[in-house]
Structure 1
């Protein structure tokens, strides 16, 4: 009986630590058999089935969410986040790991956040993305619009807890920064510190070392505009312990960098290799939670291209108005000159007849 109790306890601990198999989707897997034919086998471990193995994944404060800007609450007392130590993580190389679900970069505790109720030190960052030829890839959405990818920087409350695992199981034990990533025209040198090493960790559980670089440059330039809400981890065991900060401004990577992210890594250790793609969770119900905003202008976000197009449209509109005003004024001036000449001619004619 004692042995059985110990085994059940170990199984529960394993489940709580994410030891059970899970996937993002419920695909029909294609497997090559010894006869070289392809057999199809269902895999019931996707998002819809997470609560069966990880009950907290069915909770009422789950992440990610679709942030509807017309329903957020402006909070003028939300202080701006101030990342400390982000510019230089220190001299030691950083560990880059393909864990089969994402690419994860370890971060030293010299990186921490100011502007939150407690001191939150950094532990790791990771990425979520879609797949080639399909839109979307971010976990959070703003006004039902997803971006190509999303970066998460995970911190834990070091004032109250000794490590990340302990903090993850406590209310507001974690603070995660969410950075939406869109596709731009140029390569992003900061993200290249990660993407350029992906070929070294193609298979699950492979690791490599990355020279320290400025993590601050992974973030958007403007950090004062953000959304804040209480949520959860977006992967099992889905602990509802996260204080989320999702920035309104976006980071950018090039089309080539996104392609490398979508086409380089595998989610398996052995053949047949399965491409690591579509590793994002669908938006979860907001339920009774409130999403706060640090800024008032909470209309739909616009991309850089949209803003440039809007600016060009306004400029062209102003030029058209100026041209129209110029031609109208010219026409009025010509008409006035014509009237003056007519008056002068009439006056001269009357004088001559007199």
Structure 2
């Protein structure tokens, strides 16, 4: 029997940064941020209910050619081809991008943060042409989240990304990197995950996002766990300074940068 778990709705968000640009003020400029299905959350395992009907999550598609890695001023984003798809979601979902969160995970499990978090962002390719089209539509976007914990040895799969950071040291820089098997970034057990309906984790906080947070953490080397050591670029933000989900929607970009900057400064 599969052990995927469905979470009850109404769980509290994991972050609640205070201050004039803190999370509790986001709804003033972005009404969706005041919704009842916001992410990230503190996953209280006592509220998780086994759901045998939830299938394992399995990425498909050949990794070929090169992919673009970009420093957008607050994180590094790896654009993924639409040809990479995922079986196990309610629809034909294709990948859009993935990005990393260091300095602590966004999601908590029973009040505890992991060392980092990987997000793989997908969209319902049967209904939408990309993430921008899917934004705000129920079930239009999905995110796979893998919690990262330090281990005794470097993780070779993650080094496929980290070894290229020197080529995107400043905001706005991009580089092409060899394609690799994204499946290697995920835990071994893809049938063990928490499923809930949530939102983008930063403004505009659009809801309707299908979240799958894997129960099994991914081990990465201790040196790989540290904050991304990219210096500040022309915008004044280093690529590892801000914890944010970046979908490249363009909506509210100025407010997003300002808001997540103060959230990250509070968390440091």
TM-score with structure 2 setting the length: 0.80
Pairwise CA distance, 1:268: 4.0
Aligned pair 1:277/2:241, yes or no?
yes
1: CA distance between counterparts of 2:222 and 2:36? 36
Say whether the 8 Å CA contact 2:199–2:205 is kept in structure 1: yes
- Find the counterpart in structure 1 of residue 38 from structure 2: 62
List runs of 5+ in structure 1 lacking aligned partners.
1-23, 28-43, 131-136, 282-354
Q: Flag the structure with more relative contact order, 1 or 2, with Cα contacts below 8 A and sequence separation at least 6.
A: 2
More helix by share: 1
Pairwise CA distance, 1:75: 1.0
- Choose which of 167, 176, 182 in structure 2 pairs with 1:200: 167
- Choose which of 176, 198, 205 in structure 2 pairs with 1:238: 205
Pairwise CA distance, 1:123: 0.3
Say whether the 8 Å CA contact 1:100–1:266 is kept in structure 2: no
Say whether the 8 Å CA contact 2:171–2:239 is kept in structure 1: no
Q: Give the structure with higher Rg (CA).
A: 1
Pairwise CA distance, 1:150: 0.2
- Choose which of 121, 132, 151 in structure 1 pairs with 2:94: 121
- Find the counterpart in structure 1 of residue 123 from structure 2: 156
- Find the counterpart in structure 1 of residue 180 from structure 2: 213
1: CA distance between counterparts of 2:237 and 2:94? 36
TM-score with structure 1 setting the length: 0.61
2: CA distance between counterparts of 1:102 and 1:65? 21
Pairwise CA distance, 1:54: 1.7
Q: After TM superposition, what 4+ stretches of structure 1 lie above 6 angstroms from structure 2? A: 24-27
- Find the counterpart in structure 2 of residue 352 from structure 1: none
- Choose which of 72, 83, 90 in structure 1 pairs with 2:64: 90
Pairwise CA distance, 1:124: 0.2
Number of residue pairs matched? 230
Pairwise CA distance, 1:263: 4.4
Pairwise CA distance, 1:49: 3.0
Pairwise CA distance, 1:73: 1.3
- Choose which of 221, 230, 241 in structure 2 pairs with 1:265: 230
Q: Deviations over 1:201-255 (max 9, x none)?
A: 1222211111111111000111111110000011221110210100000111111
Say whether the 8 Å CA contact 1:199–1:264 is kept in structure 2: no
Say whether the 8 Å CA contact 2:123–2:131 is kept in structure 1: yes
Say whether the 8 Å CA contact 1:151–1:181 is kept in structure 2: yes
- Find the counterpart in structure 2 of residue 176 from structure 1: 143
1: CA distance between counterparts of 2:241 and 2:222? 16
2: CA distance between counterparts of 1:279 and 1:250? 19
Q: What is the root-mean-square deviation in Å for CA atoms of aligned residues?
A: 2.0
- Find the counterpart in structure 2 of residue 36 from structure 1: none
Q: How does 1:1-354 map to 2 (within 5 A)?
A: 44-85=20-61, 88-91=62-65, 93-130=66-103, 137-259=104-226, 262-266=227-231, 268-269=233-234, 276-277=240-241, 279=243
Say whether the 8 Å CA contact 1:81–1:223 is kept in structure 2: yes
Say whether the 8 Å CA contact 2:200–2:206 is kept in structure 1: yes
Say whether the 8 Å CA contact 1:89–1:110 is kept in structure 2: no
- 3-state DSSP of counterpart to 1:122: strand
